[in-house]
Amino acid sequence: MSDIRKAAVVLMSLPEDEAAMVLSKLNAKEVEQVSIEIARTKRILPAEQDTTIREFADTSPSSSTEGGSLDLAKNLVKRALGSDAGQALDNIRQTIEALPFGFLRTIDCQNVLTYVIDEHPQTIALILSYLPASYGAEILAGLPQDRQMAVVRRMATMGQTNPEIIREVERALEGRMSSVVGPSFQNAGGVEPVAEMLNVSERSTERAILDELAEEDPDLVEEIRRLMFVFEDIAKFSAKDIQTILKHVETSQWSLALKGASEELKDKVLGNMSQRAADMLREEMEFLGAVKVSAVEAEQQRIVDIVRNLEDVGEIEINATDEEEQLVQ
């Protein structure tokens, strides 16, 4: 999830007056970027909201927020920028109006599902590529399992899409719902939006889709999974899981990978080591001095792969929602 997306989720979770006050602390360009994201977002799933807010404070919402809208974005910009809001408002409006399938963002996902459920998987994949991840996840969850896999596979492998095809699909929905025209040649789909969508899907849905897709294209699944879990996510693990990971990762690997890590992750790793081991790791990190970013990222990815393998064999569990799974007797 990008920083712009996180900021938008937090602001949409606040009362409008408080959100406007926070937004006023940003510069005009940042206000515009965050406001466009708010205007694009119809709703936020509780899991996404909870995960994002936990990064800012040790609290969690009791229910989902209604999401954003163009009107909310305009109100926040007006309050944040006052008399200087004119240009930002024009940019936001033009950006939102230019989004392919933008009209679907104002329609309940269940209604959208009713209209698209019988469409070809390629058509559904194209539509979901232009929707916010949380909104697309709800639609995906409503599809039959075999169609879920077909849609995700097509979405992940989709590249550039001819604008005429986009307009043709839009025109097919226009008479029944609304209309919008995508005026420019754009990228649709790809692995990143699939990873974002599955990250906010139910865990059972994610597993079922990836397991079935792995039978056809294991390399594609590996690429998706790498984007779904990143190195910094290790900080979300419990102390027990961190200690399990420590047994499978060498000190020399941590010394390089942690050079580019947040203080939160460094503290989490060091805090689960013995005092002697932690001191040795700190010394090794200092001894390394300046290192290439590419080397750090490569080592971080190797550790991510180890973590994924530990999940595959059941030694740890990557819980994207940071919620405890219910147990049965």
Please say if the pLDDT value at position 21 is more than 90.
Answer: no
Average model confidence (pLDDT) for the chain? 75
Q: Are residues 93 and 107 in the same domain?
A: no
Q: What is the pLDDT of residues 199-251, one digit of tens each?
A: 767 767 877 888 888 888 888 888 887 777 778 889 888 899 999 999 999 99
Q: Are residues 210 and 263 in the same domain?
A: no
Q: Are residues 203 and 243 in the same domain?
A: no
Q: Are residues 223 and 129 in the same domain?
A: yes
The larger pLDDT score, comparing residue 56 to residue 4, is at 4
- Does a structural domain hold residue 161? yes
- Does a structural domain hold residue 242? yes
Q: Are residues 107 and 222 in the same domain?
A: yes
Average pLDDT over residues 158-169: 81
Please say if the pLDDT value at position 326 is more than 50.
Answer: no
- Does a structural domain hold residue 324? no
- Does a structural domain hold residue 323? no
Q: What is the pLDDT of residues 256-312, one digit of tens each?
A: 999 878 899 999 999 999 999 999 999 999 898 888 888 888 898 889 889 878 887
Q: Are residues 93 and 163 in the same domain?
A: no
Q: What is the pLDDT of residues 34-92, one digit of tens each?
A: 777 777 675 666 666 666 666 654 333 333 444 445 555 555 555 555 555 555 555 55
The larger pLDDT score, comparing residue 243 to residue 103, is at 243
Task: Examine the fold and report which residue of 62, 97, 132 is the final residue of a domain before the chain moves on.
Answer: 97
Full DSSP string of 113-129:
HHHHTTS-HHHHHHHHH
Q: Are residues 93 and 115 in the same domain?
A: no
- Does a structural domain hold residue 296? yes
Give the H/E segment covering residue 216: helix 203-216
- Does a structural domain hold residue 328? no
Return the pLDDT at 62.
36
Distances (CA, A) of 181 to 44, 103, 163: 25, 10, 9
The larger pLDDT score, comparing residue 68 to residue 180, is at 68
Helical packing angle, 3-13 and 46-56, nearest 10°: 100
Identity of the residue numbered 308: R
Q: Are residues 185 and 237 in the same domain?
A: no
Full DSSP string of 167-201:
HHHHHHHHTTS------S-EE---HHHHHHHHHTS
Residue labelled with tokens 């070809």:
120
- Does a structural domain hold residue 145? yes
Task: Examine the fold and report which residue of 80, 97, 114 is the final residue of a domain before the chain moves on.
Answer: 97
Q: Are residues 181 and 81 in the same domain?
A: no
Q: Are residues 119 and 59 in the same domain?
A: no
Q: Are residues 139 and 243 in the same domain?
A: no
- Find the domain containing 212 and state its range: 103-227
The larger pLDDT score, comparing residue 69 to residue 170, is at 170
Query: What CA–CA distance (Å, rounded) separates 240 from 65?
Result: 32
Using 50, 70 and 90 to split pLDDT, how confident is the model at 161? confident
Identity of the residue numbered 268: K
The larger pLDDT score, comparing residue 27 to residue 255, is at 255
Using 50, 70 and 90 to split pLDDT, how confident is the model at 182? very low
Domain count, the chain: 3
- Does a structural domain hold residue 270? yes
Task: Examine the fold and report which residue of 73, 97, 121 is the final residue of a domain before the chain moves on.
Answer: 97
> Of the ranges 22-31, 188-197, 307-316, which one carries the lowest mean pLDDT score?
22-31
Q: Report the CATH number that the domain containing residue 158 is assigned in CATH.
A: 1.10.220.30
Q: Are residues 139 and 179 in the same domain?
A: yes
Please say if the pLDDT value at position 109 is more than 80.
Answer: no
